[in-house]
Structure 1
Amino acid sequence: MPEKGVLMGRGAALLLITAVELVVFLDLAVVNIALPAIGADLGLDEAGLAWVTNAYLLAFGGFMLVGGRATDLLGPRRVFGAGLAVFTLASAVAGFAPWAWLLIAARALQGLGAAVVVPAQISLLTATFTTPAAHRRAFGVWSAMGASGAAIGTASGGLLTQALGWPSIFLINLPVGVVALVFMRRVLPADPPRLPASPGSRGGLDLPGALTGTAALLLIGYALGALADPGTRLRAWVLLAAGLVLLGVFVAIEARAERPLMPLRLFRIRQVSGSAVVNTLVGAAHVPAFALLSLYLQETQGYRPTESGLAVLPVAAAGLAASRVLIPGLLKRLGARGVLAMGLGLQAVALAWFARLPGEVTYAIDVLPAGLVLGVGMPAAFVGVTVPAVTAVAKADTGIAAGIVNTAQRIGSGLGVTALLLLASTVGSGGAADPRTALIGGLRAGFGGAALLAAVGCLLTLTLLRPNPSPETRAEERDTAGVSG
Structure 2
Amino acid sequence: MAVVNIALPDMKADLGFTAEGLQWVVNAYALAFGGLLMLGGRLTDIAGRRRTLMAALALFGLASLGGGLVWSPGGLIAARAAQGVAAAALAPVALALITVTFPAGPARSRALGLWGMAGAAGGAIGVLAGGVLTEAAGWRTVLLVNVPIVVFAYAAARRSVPADRRTGPAPRLDAGGALLITAGMMVLVLGVVRTETHGWGSAMTIGTLALAAVLLAAFAAVELRVGQPLLRMGLLTHRPVLAANLFMLLLASGQFGAFYFSSLYMQQVLGYGATATGVAFLPFCVGLVAGSLLAPRLIARLTMRWTLVVGGVLGAAGFAWLAAAVGVDGGFADSILGPFLLASFGIGMCFVPLGTAGTEGVAAAEAGMASGLLNSSRQIGGSVGLAALVTVAAGAAGGSRVEAQANGYATAFGVGAVLLAAAALTALLLPARTGVSQARTADPAADSADSEPVAEHDSAQEGAPR
Query: Structure 1 length as normaliser, TM-score?
Result: 0.87
1:439 lines up with 2:424 in the alignment: no
Gaps of 5+ in 1: 1-27, 198-202, 481-485
What corresponds to 1:348 in structure 2? 316
Q: Pairwise CA RMSD of aligned residues?
A: 2.3
Q: 1:144: how far off?
A: 0.9
Once residues 91 and 199 of structure 2 are traced to their aligned partners in structure 1, the CA distance between those partners, rounded to angstroms, is 34
Q: 1:220: how far off?
A: 0.2
The answer to whether the 8 A contact 1:62-1:215 is kept is yes
**For the structure 1 residues 184 and 442, does the alpha-carbon distance in structure 2 shift closer, same or farther, using more than 3 Å as the test?**
same
**For the structure 1 residues 280 and 231, does the alpha-carbon distance in structure 2 shift closer, same or farther, using more than 3 Å as the test?**
closer
1:183 lines up with 2:183 in the alignment: no
What corresponds to 1:216 in structure 2? 184
Q: Which stretches of structure 1, 4 residues or longer, exceed 4 Å deviation after superposition?
A: 473-476
Gaps of 5+ in 2: 452-458, 461-466
Q: 1:421: how far off?
A: 1.2
The answer to whether the 8 A contact 2:254-2:420 is kept is yes
Q: 1:309: how far off?
A: 2.0
Q: Secondary structure of 2:173's match?
A: coil
What corresponds to 1:454 in structure 2? 420
Once residues 167 and 247 of structure 2 are traced to their aligned partners in structure 1, the CA distance between those partners, rounded to angstroms, is 32
Counting only pairs closer than 5 Å after superposition, residues 245-324 of structure 1 correspond to structure 2 as 245-324=214-293
What corresponds to 1:332 in structure 2? 300
1:377 lines up with 2:346 in the alignment: yes
Once residues 419 and 379 of structure 1 are traced to their aligned partners in structure 2, the CA distance between those partners, rounded to angstroms, is 24
1:58 aligned residue (20, 31, 35) = 31
Once residues 232 and 423 of structure 2 are traced to their aligned partners in structure 1, the CA distance between those partners, rounded to angstroms, is 25
2:143 aligned residue (135, 158, 170) = 170
Which deviates further from its counterpart, 291-300 or 145-154? Answer: 291-300
Q: Secondary structure of 1:303's match?
A: coil
Q: Secondary structure of 1:390's match?
A: coil
What corresponds to 2:193 in structure 1? 225
Q: 1:264: how far off?
A: 1.1
Return the letter of the residue paired with 1:163: A
What corresponds to 2:455 in structure 1? none
**For the structure 1 residues 308 and 268, does the alpha-carbon distance in structure 2 shift closer, same or farther, using more than 3 Å as the test?**
same
Q: 1:157: how far off?
A: 0.3
Q: Secondary structure of 1:252's match?
A: helix
**For the structure 1 residues 72 and 298, does the alpha-carbon distance in structure 2 shift closer, same or farther, using more than 3 Å as the test?**
same
Once residues 174 and 372 of structure 2 are traced to their aligned partners in structure 1, the CA distance between those partners, rounded to angstroms, is 15
What corresponds to 1:200 in structure 2? none
Return the letter of the residue paired with 2:426: L
2:117 aligned residue (139, 144, 154) = 144
The answer to whether the 8 A contact 2:96-2:368 is kept is yes
Return the letter of the residue paired with 2:396: V
What corresponds to 2:380 in structure 1? 411
Q: 1:331: how far off?
A: 2.4
Once residues 433 and 446 of structure 1 are traced to their aligned partners in structure 2, the CA distance between those partners, rounded to angstroms, is 16
Q: 1:439: how far off?
A: 2.2
Give aligned-pair identity as a percent: 38
What corresponds to 1:193 in structure 2? 166
What corresponds to 1:119 in structure 2? 92
Return the letter of the residue paired with 2:134: T
1:134 lines up with 2:107 in the alignment: yes
Q: Give the count of matched residue pairs.
A: 443
Q: 1:227: how far off?
A: 1.8
Q: 1:229: how far off?
A: 2.3
Once residues 281 and 2 of structure 2 are traced to their aligned partners in structure 1, the CA distance between those partners, rounded to angstroms, is 12
Once residues 433 and 391 of structure 1 are traced to their aligned partners in structure 2, the CA distance between those partners, rounded to angstroms, is 50
1:76 lines up with 2:44 in the alignment: no
**For the structure 1 residues 339 and 195, does the alpha-carbon distance in structure 2 shift closer, same or farther, using more than 3 Å as the test?**
farther
Superimposed CA distance per residue, residues 191-245 of structure 1 (whole angstroms, 9 cap, x where no aligned partner): 3416516xxxxx5211111111101000001101112324694322211111111
Q: 1:312: how far off?
A: 1.0
The answer to whether the 8 A contact 1:128-1:189 is kept is no
Once residues 465 and 442 of structure 1 are traced to their aligned partners in structure 2, the CA distance between those partners, rounded to angstroms, is 39
Return the letter of the residue paired with 1:373: L
